A and B are shown apart, each in its own frame.
Chain A
Amino acid sequence: MVISKAAQAGSSETSDILIMVSPNPDGGIKLELDSKKVILKQFGKQIEKVIREKIAEMGVKDIMVIAKDNGALDYTIRARVQAAIERAI
Protein backbone atom coordinates (compact mmCIF):
# COMPACT_ATOMS: atom_id res chain seq x y z
CA MET A 1 0.00 0.00 0.00
CA VAL A 2 1.47 3.34 -1.09
CA ILE A 3 0.84 6.67 0.62
CA SER A 4 0.21 9.14 -2.19
CA LYS A 5 -0.87 12.28 -0.34
CA ALA A 6 -1.09 13.90 3.09
CA ALA A 7 -4.15 13.08 5.18
CA GLN A 8 -5.26 13.08 8.77
CA ALA A 9 -7.82 11.50 11.10
CA GLY A 10 -8.86 11.92 14.70
CA SER A 11 -9.00 15.08 16.76
CA SER A 12 -7.46 17.02 19.63
CA GLU A 13 -10.29 16.14 21.99
CA THR A 14 -9.78 14.25 25.24
CA SER A 15 -9.27 10.51 24.77
CA ASP A 16 -8.62 10.98 21.06
CA ILE A 17 -5.47 11.15 18.96
CA LEU A 18 -4.77 13.20 15.85
CA ILE A 19 -2.89 11.20 13.26
CA MET A 20 -1.31 13.02 10.31
CA VAL A 21 0.30 10.94 7.58
CA SER A 22 2.19 11.82 4.40
CA PRO A 23 4.54 10.15 1.91
CA ASN A 24 8.10 9.61 3.15
CA PRO A 25 10.49 10.49 0.29
CA ASP A 26 13.42 9.00 2.25
CA GLY A 27 11.67 5.65 2.51
CA GLY A 28 10.75 3.65 5.61
CA ILE A 29 8.56 4.58 8.54
CA LYS A 30 9.19 7.87 10.31
CA LEU A 31 7.12 8.43 13.42
CA GLU A 32 6.87 11.54 15.58
CA LEU A 33 4.79 11.27 18.74
CA ASP A 34 3.58 14.23 20.75
CA SER A 35 1.75 13.96 24.08
CA LYS A 36 1.99 15.13 27.69
CA LYS A 37 5.40 14.37 29.18
CA VAL A 38 3.98 12.02 31.76
CA ILE A 39 2.05 10.12 29.10
CA LEU A 40 5.10 9.85 26.86
CA LYS A 41 7.17 8.55 29.74
CA GLN A 42 4.61 5.95 30.80
CA PHE A 43 2.92 4.97 27.56
CA GLY A 44 5.05 6.39 24.73
CA LYS A 45 6.50 3.03 23.71
CA GLN A 46 3.09 1.35 23.82
CA ILE A 47 1.50 4.09 21.67
CA GLU A 48 4.33 3.78 19.14
CA LYS A 49 3.98 0.02 19.11
CA VAL A 50 0.25 0.22 18.35
CA ILE A 51 0.84 2.72 15.55
CA ARG A 52 3.63 0.65 13.99
CA GLU A 53 1.61 -2.56 14.24
CA LYS A 54 -1.33 -1.01 12.42
CA ILE A 55 0.96 0.41 9.72
CA ALA A 56 2.52 -3.03 9.23
CA GLU A 57 -0.89 -4.74 9.24
CA MET A 58 -1.96 -2.45 6.40
CA GLY A 59 1.15 -3.25 4.40
CA VAL A 60 2.52 0.29 4.34
CA LYS A 61 6.31 0.48 3.94
CA ASP A 62 7.06 4.18 3.44
CA ILE A 63 5.23 6.74 5.52
CA MET A 64 5.70 9.79 7.74
CA VAL A 65 3.41 9.88 10.76
CA ILE A 66 2.86 12.69 13.22
CA ALA A 67 0.69 11.62 16.16
CA LYS A 68 -0.69 14.12 18.68
CA ASP A 69 -2.09 12.10 21.55
CA ASN A 70 -4.67 13.27 24.07
CA GLY A 71 -4.99 10.14 26.14
CA ALA A 72 -6.26 7.75 23.48
CA LEU A 73 -6.67 4.06 24.25
CA ASP A 74 -5.31 1.42 21.87
CA TYR A 75 -8.61 0.94 20.02
CA THR A 76 -8.77 4.64 19.17
CA ILE A 77 -5.16 4.71 18.00
CA ARG A 78 -5.76 1.74 15.69
CA ALA A 79 -8.93 3.26 14.23
CA ARG A 80 -7.41 6.69 13.64
CA VAL A 81 -4.24 5.31 12.03
CA GLN A 82 -6.29 3.16 9.68
CA ALA A 83 -8.59 6.07 8.78
CA ALA A 84 -5.66 8.39 8.08
CA ILE A 85 -3.90 5.81 5.89
CA GLU A 86 -7.05 4.94 3.96
CA ARG A 87 -7.56 8.65 3.28
CA ALA A 88 -3.96 9.01 2.10
CA ILE A 89 -3.84 6.22 -0.48
Chain B
Amino acid sequence: MRQYRKSILFVSGNSPKMLQDAPVFGSDGIVLDLEEAVAPEEKDSARLLVKEALRFFDYSDMDVIVRINSLSSGFGEKDIELIARERPFALMVPKASAEQIAQIENKLDQVEKEEGIPAGSIKLIPVIETAYALQYVHQIVTSSPRITGAFLNAEGLTADFGMQRTKEGEEILYARSRVVVACRAEKLNAIDTPFMDSDDYEGLEKDCYKARNMGFTGKAAIDGRQIDTIHRFFS
Protein backbone atom coordinates (compact mmCIF):
# COMPACT_ATOMS: atom_id res chain seq x y z
CA MET B 1 0.00 0.00 0.00
CA ARG B 2 1.10 3.56 -0.56
CA GLN B 3 2.39 5.95 2.04
CA TYR B 4 -0.81 8.02 2.30
CA ARG B 5 -2.48 5.18 4.18
CA LYS B 6 -2.61 6.91 7.61
CA SER B 7 -3.59 10.49 6.86
CA ILE B 8 -4.55 12.90 4.12
CA LEU B 9 -4.99 16.62 4.69
CA PHE B 10 -7.48 18.56 2.57
CA VAL B 11 -6.52 22.09 1.54
CA SER B 12 -8.35 24.47 -0.73
CA GLY B 13 -6.81 24.65 -4.17
CA ASN B 14 -7.64 28.34 -4.29
CA SER B 15 -5.89 29.38 -1.07
CA PRO B 16 -2.20 30.30 -1.49
CA LYS B 17 -1.72 30.39 2.28
CA MET B 18 -3.10 26.88 2.78
CA LEU B 19 -1.06 25.53 -0.13
CA GLN B 20 2.08 27.00 1.42
CA ASP B 21 1.36 25.85 4.98
CA ALA B 22 0.14 22.33 4.20
CA PRO B 23 3.52 20.52 4.27
CA VAL B 24 4.35 21.54 7.85
CA PHE B 25 1.73 19.30 9.46
CA GLY B 26 3.40 16.04 8.44
CA SER B 27 0.43 14.27 6.88
CA ASP B 28 1.16 11.27 4.66
CA GLY B 29 -0.70 12.89 1.80
CA ILE B 30 -2.17 16.26 0.95
CA VAL B 31 -5.28 16.73 -1.13
CA LEU B 32 -5.29 19.94 -3.15
CA ASP B 33 -8.99 20.42 -3.58
CA LEU B 34 -10.43 21.81 -6.79
CA GLU B 35 -13.92 20.56 -6.07
CA GLU B 36 -15.88 21.29 -2.87
CA ALA B 37 -13.55 24.00 -1.60
CA VAL B 38 -13.71 26.08 -4.78
CA ALA B 39 -16.69 28.14 -6.00
CA PRO B 40 -17.71 27.52 -9.63
CA GLU B 41 -16.59 31.00 -10.72
CA GLU B 42 -13.11 30.39 -9.28
CA LYS B 43 -12.45 26.96 -10.80
CA ASP B 44 -10.22 28.35 -13.57
CA SER B 45 -8.12 30.40 -11.17
CA ALA B 46 -7.74 27.56 -8.64
CA ARG B 47 -6.71 25.13 -11.36
CA LEU B 48 -3.90 27.47 -12.41
CA LEU B 49 -2.85 28.06 -8.80
CA VAL B 50 -2.59 24.32 -8.12
CA LYS B 51 -0.61 23.82 -11.33
CA GLU B 52 1.87 26.53 -10.31
CA ALA B 53 2.04 25.23 -6.72
CA LEU B 54 2.95 21.75 -7.96
CA ARG B 55 5.84 23.28 -9.91
CA PHE B 56 6.95 25.62 -7.13
CA PHE B 57 6.85 23.67 -3.85
CA ASP B 58 8.82 20.66 -2.76
CA TYR B 59 6.05 18.27 -1.75
CA SER B 60 8.38 15.28 -2.06
CA ASP B 61 7.86 14.13 1.54
CA MET B 62 4.20 13.38 0.92
CA ASP B 63 1.84 12.01 -1.67
CA VAL B 64 0.26 14.88 -3.58
CA ILE B 65 -3.33 14.15 -4.49
CA VAL B 66 -5.52 16.56 -6.44
CA ARG B 67 -9.29 16.27 -6.02
CA ILE B 68 -10.60 17.12 -9.46
CA ASN B 69 -14.16 18.00 -10.34
CA SER B 70 -16.44 15.29 -11.69
CA LEU B 71 -16.55 14.96 -15.46
CA SER B 72 -20.28 15.74 -15.42
CA SER B 73 -19.59 19.14 -13.81
CA GLY B 74 -17.95 20.44 -16.98
CA PHE B 75 -14.73 21.24 -15.07
CA GLY B 76 -13.24 17.77 -14.64
CA GLU B 77 -11.76 17.30 -18.08
CA LYS B 78 -9.95 20.66 -17.92
CA ASP B 79 -8.64 19.72 -14.45
CA ILE B 80 -7.14 16.49 -15.79
CA GLU B 81 -5.72 18.18 -18.90
CA LEU B 82 -3.83 20.78 -16.85
CA ILE B 83 -3.01 18.99 -13.61
CA ALA B 84 -2.01 15.52 -14.82
CA ARG B 85 0.86 17.07 -16.76
CA GLU B 86 2.37 18.18 -13.41
CA ARG B 87 2.59 14.52 -12.34
CA PRO B 88 0.70 14.45 -9.05
CA PHE B 89 0.79 11.15 -7.21
CA ALA B 90 -2.95 10.69 -7.73
CA LEU B 91 -6.20 12.28 -8.77
CA MET B 92 -9.12 11.96 -6.38
CA VAL B 93 -12.35 11.30 -8.27
CA PRO B 94 -15.58 12.68 -6.78
CA LYS B 95 -18.96 10.99 -7.20
CA ALA B 96 -17.12 7.91 -8.37
CA SER B 97 -18.50 5.33 -10.76
CA ALA B 98 -16.75 2.66 -12.79
CA GLU B 99 -17.84 4.47 -15.95
CA GLN B 100 -16.28 7.76 -14.86
CA ILE B 101 -13.09 6.00 -13.77
CA ALA B 102 -12.82 4.43 -17.25
CA GLN B 103 -13.21 7.84 -18.93
CA ILE B 104 -10.59 9.40 -16.67
CA GLU B 105 -8.23 6.51 -17.27
CA ASN B 106 -8.48 7.05 -21.03
CA LYS B 107 -7.67 10.71 -20.61
CA LEU B 108 -4.72 9.92 -18.33
CA ASP B 109 -3.39 7.36 -20.82
CA GLN B 110 -3.37 10.11 -23.44
CA VAL B 111 -1.71 12.74 -21.22
CA GLU B 112 0.93 10.30 -19.96
CA LYS B 113 1.79 9.36 -23.54
CA GLU B 114 2.05 13.01 -24.64
CA GLU B 115 4.24 13.96 -21.65
CA GLY B 116 6.46 10.88 -21.65
CA ILE B 117 5.20 9.91 -18.20
CA PRO B 118 5.38 6.13 -17.56
CA ALA B 119 2.00 4.60 -18.38
CA GLY B 120 -0.24 4.10 -15.39
CA SER B 121 1.93 6.08 -13.00
CA ILE B 122 -0.73 8.64 -12.02
CA LYS B 123 -2.97 6.87 -9.53
CA LEU B 124 -6.68 7.27 -8.80
CA ILE B 125 -8.60 7.48 -5.52
CA PRO B 126 -12.38 7.25 -5.92
CA VAL B 127 -14.59 9.15 -3.47
CA ILE B 128 -17.47 7.11 -2.14
CA GLU B 129 -20.13 9.75 -1.49
CA THR B 130 -23.30 8.62 -3.24
CA ALA B 131 -25.74 5.78 -2.69
CA TYR B 132 -24.75 4.49 -6.14
CA ALA B 133 -21.04 4.46 -5.30
CA LEU B 134 -21.71 2.72 -1.99
CA GLN B 135 -23.77 0.02 -3.68
CA TYR B 136 -21.07 -0.59 -6.30
CA VAL B 137 -17.99 0.17 -4.19
CA HIS B 138 -16.19 -3.11 -4.91
CA GLN B 139 -16.82 -2.75 -8.63
CA ILE B 140 -15.47 0.82 -8.46
CA VAL B 141 -12.27 0.06 -6.53
CA THR B 142 -11.44 -2.80 -8.90
CA SER B 143 -12.27 -0.87 -12.08
CA SER B 144 -8.70 0.30 -12.73
CA PRO B 145 -5.18 -0.82 -11.77
CA ARG B 146 -4.49 2.86 -11.04
CA ILE B 147 -6.71 2.75 -7.96
CA THR B 148 -4.71 2.63 -4.72
CA GLY B 149 -7.53 3.20 -2.25
CA ALA B 150 -10.90 4.80 -1.65
CA PHE B 151 -12.02 7.75 0.43
CA LEU B 152 -15.35 7.71 2.24
CA ASN B 153 -16.91 11.19 2.23
CA ALA B 154 -19.66 10.93 4.80
CA GLU B 155 -20.77 14.54 4.37
CA GLY B 156 -21.60 13.91 0.73
CA LEU B 157 -23.10 10.52 1.43
CA THR B 158 -25.44 11.66 4.19
CA ALA B 159 -26.52 14.58 2.00
CA ASP B 160 -27.29 12.12 -0.80
CA PHE B 161 -29.37 10.04 1.61
CA GLY B 162 -30.99 13.09 3.22
CA MET B 163 -29.68 11.99 6.62
CA GLN B 164 -28.51 14.14 9.48
CA ARG B 165 -24.79 13.87 10.12
CA THR B 166 -23.75 13.43 13.76
CA LYS B 167 -20.44 13.41 15.60
CA GLU B 168 -21.11 9.88 16.82
CA GLY B 169 -21.45 8.63 13.26
CA GLU B 170 -24.03 5.88 13.85
CA GLU B 171 -25.70 6.89 10.58
CA ILE B 172 -22.60 5.93 8.57
CA LEU B 173 -21.87 2.59 10.25
CA TYR B 174 -23.03 0.55 7.26
CA ALA B 175 -21.23 2.79 4.76
CA ARG B 176 -17.99 2.59 6.70
CA SER B 177 -18.24 -1.19 6.90
CA ARG B 178 -18.95 -1.56 3.21
CA VAL B 179 -16.06 0.68 2.11
CA VAL B 180 -13.60 -1.04 4.47
CA VAL B 181 -14.53 -4.54 3.29
CA ALA B 182 -14.23 -3.61 -0.40
CA CYS B 183 -10.82 -1.98 0.11
CA ARG B 184 -9.37 -4.54 2.50
CA ALA B 185 -10.42 -7.40 0.22
CA GLU B 186 -8.31 -5.82 -2.53
CA LYS B 187 -5.45 -4.69 -0.24
CA LEU B 188 -6.18 -1.04 -0.93
CA ASN B 189 -6.06 1.96 1.36
CA ALA B 190 -9.35 2.74 3.08
CA ILE B 191 -9.48 6.38 4.14
CA ASP B 192 -12.19 7.38 6.57
CA THR B 193 -14.21 10.57 6.39
CA PRO B 194 -12.84 13.62 8.27
CA PHE B 195 -14.07 14.65 11.71
CA MET B 196 -15.64 18.01 10.96
CA ASP B 197 -15.20 19.83 14.30
CA SER B 198 -11.54 20.79 14.24
CA ASP B 199 -11.67 22.16 17.81
CA ASP B 200 -13.06 18.98 19.38
CA TYR B 201 -10.02 16.78 20.01
CA GLU B 202 -11.86 14.36 22.29
CA GLY B 203 -14.46 13.82 19.58
CA LEU B 204 -11.69 13.32 17.04
CA GLU B 205 -10.02 10.69 19.24
CA LYS B 206 -13.27 8.76 19.60
CA ASP B 207 -13.86 8.95 15.86
CA CYS B 208 -10.32 7.77 15.09
CA TYR B 209 -10.69 4.86 17.53
CA LYS B 210 -13.94 3.83 15.89
CA ALA B 211 -12.55 4.07 12.36
CA ARG B 212 -9.38 2.17 13.19
CA ASN B 213 -11.31 -0.63 14.88
CA MET B 214 -13.55 -0.93 11.85
CA GLY B 215 -10.51 -1.53 9.68
CA PHE B 216 -9.78 1.80 8.01
CA THR B 217 -6.10 2.26 7.19
CA GLY B 218 -6.28 6.01 7.77
CA LYS B 219 -8.35 9.12 8.10
CA ALA B 220 -8.78 12.40 6.29
CA ALA B 221 -8.24 15.73 8.05
CA ILE B 222 -9.68 19.17 7.34
CA ASP B 223 -7.25 20.95 9.64
CA GLY B 224 -3.52 20.36 10.07
CA ARG B 225 -3.96 20.27 13.85
CA GLN B 226 -5.85 16.98 13.49
CA ILE B 227 -2.88 15.11 12.01
CA ASP B 228 -1.00 14.28 15.24
CA THR B 229 -4.12 12.76 16.77
CA ILE B 230 -4.83 10.73 13.63
CA HIS B 231 -1.27 9.40 13.61
CA ARG B 232 -1.62 8.19 17.20
CA PHE B 233 -4.40 5.86 16.11
CA PHE B 234 -3.23 4.63 12.71
CA SER B 235 0.05 2.99 11.88
Verify A80–B45 contact, CB threshold 8 A: yes
Of all chain B residues, which has the CB nearest A86?
B44
Chain A contacts of B16 at CB under 8 A? 13, 15-16, 72-73, 75-76
Verify A75–B17 contact, CB threshold 8 A: no
Verify A83–B20 contact, CB threshold 8 A: no
Q: Is A35 among interface residues, defined by CB-CB distance under 8 A?
A: no
Verify B17–A79 contact, CB threshold 8 A: no
CA distance A9 to B55 in the complex (A): 20
CA distance A87 to B57 in the complex (A): 26
How far apart are B13's CB and chain A's nearest CB, in angstroms? Answer: 10
Verify A10–B45 contact, CB threshold 8 A: yes
Q: A73-B20, A74-B56, A75-B53 are in contact. Are A83 and B48 (CB under 8 A)?
A: yes
Verify A79–B20 contact, CB threshold 8 A: no
- Max count, chain B CB within 10 A of own CB: residue among A72, A73, A76, A82: A76
Which of these, A14, A72, A74, A82, contacts B48 with CB under 8 Å?
Answer: A82
Query: Chain B interface: which size bin?
Result: 10 to 19
Of all chain B residues, which has the CB nearest A76?
B16
Chain A contacts of B20 at CB under 8 A? 15, 73
CA distance A80 to B51 in the complex (A): 12
CA distance A62 to B17 in the complex (A): 31
Q: A73-B20, A75-B57, A80-B49 are in contact. List 19 more A-B contacts (CB 8 A).
A: A13-B16, A13-B17, A15-B16, A15-B17, A16-B15, A16-B17, A73-B56, A74-B56, A75-B16, A75-B49, A75-B52, A75-B53, A75-B56, A76-B16, A79-B45, A79-B48, A79-B49, A79-B51, A83-B45
Q: Is A78 among interface residues, defined by CB-CB distance under 8 A?
A: yes
How far apart are A19's CB and chain B's nearest CB, in angstroms? Answer: 10
Chain A contacts of B17 at CB under 8 A? 13-16
How far apart are A43's CB and chain B's nearest CB, in angstroms? Answer: 15
Interface residues of B in 26-46 (CB under 8 A from A): 44-45
Verify B52–A83 contact, CB threshold 8 A: no
Which of these, A13, A73, A74, A86, contacts B15 with CB under 8 Å?
Answer: A13
Contact with B along A45-89 (1 / 0, CB 8 A): 000000000000000000000000000111110111011001100
